[in-house]
A and B are shown apart, each in its own frame.
Chain A
Amino acid sequence: DAGVIQSPRHEVTEMGQEVTLRCKPISGHDYLFWYRQTMMRGLELLIYFNNNVPIDDSGMPEDRFSAKMPNASFSTLKIQPSEPRDSAVYFCASSLGLAGVETQYFGPGTRLLVL
């Protein structure tokens, strides 16, 4: 298996622009997670899905962030409009089974820089 696939790997954009991050989970996994990692705040869970349905979005910072999972093999995290404080590494992860129990498999991350 190719593992969790994220694109792009790097993104540089200007403040106010829309940013879309993409994720393909491991085939057959029923949970998908979006995390954000920064030096100041560490690793934060933004949102997670079970069978394409959002379960917990309490970590989404504000209305500028939105996430979708239109099918079992694809998810997007969108930031509109982007701000410099959104600069971070965004990870997608997937698992087979309960979110707090089963191993999560992480993608390589998208490094986002908002100027």
Chain B
Amino acid sequence: AQSVTQPDIHITVSEGASLELRCNYSYGATPYLFWYVQSPGQGLQLLLKYFSGDTLVQGIKGFEAEFKRSQSSFNLRKPSVHWSDAAEYFCAVGGTGTASKLTFGTGTRLQVTL
């Protein structure tokens, strides 16, 4: 069965500081990996996704993520956080197959201090 672990429930960083959110996955074949962001009171929005090619993926809002197969990880990074990045971040894993679906992690809530 596929699964996603986001070990950090809550992270606080100062505006301008760098950010790394951790994600570990379990999937029996080649995974499709996603990061979504949820701002308060809103639905989820895709930040970036990976399924093949360059293991460093660029997304919207200056975010990037690196796929490391040996570590089963897909960590999200941003060099300099802005106050507007405060939100909840979800990692998800999916794949091909007629009954494929996304499995989401439990999320990491990011707080940004000024």
Quick one: closest B residue to A48, CB to CB?
Answer: B101
Contacting pair A101 B94 (CB below 8 A): yes
Query: Is B100's CB within 8 Å of the partner chain A?
Result: yes
In this complex, the interface size class of chain A, counting residues with CB under 8 Å from chain B, is 20 to 34
A7 interfacial by beta-carbon distance below 8 Å = no
B interface residues, how many (CB within 8 angstroms) = 25
A19 at the interface (CB under 8 A from B): no
Known: A99-B94, A100-B32. A55 touches B107 (CB 8 A): no
In the complex, the answer to whether B99 meets A42 with C-beta atoms within 8 Å is: no
Asked if B100 and A98 sit within 8 Å, CB to CB, the answer is yes
The contact of A106 among B44, B96, B100, by CB within 8 Å, is B44
C-beta contact mask, B29-64 vs A, less than 8 Å → 1, else 0?
000101010000111111001010000000000000
Q: Can you list 7 A-B contacts (CB < 8 A)? A: A4-B43, A42-B105, A43-B107, A45-B103, A98-B100, A100-B102, A101-B96
Query: Which A residues are within 8 Å of any B CB, using their own CB?
Result: 4, 42-43, 45, 48, 55-56, 91, 93, 98-101, 103-109
List residues of chain B with CB under 8 Å of any chain A CB: 32, 34, 36, 41-46, 49, 51, 90, 94-97, 99-107
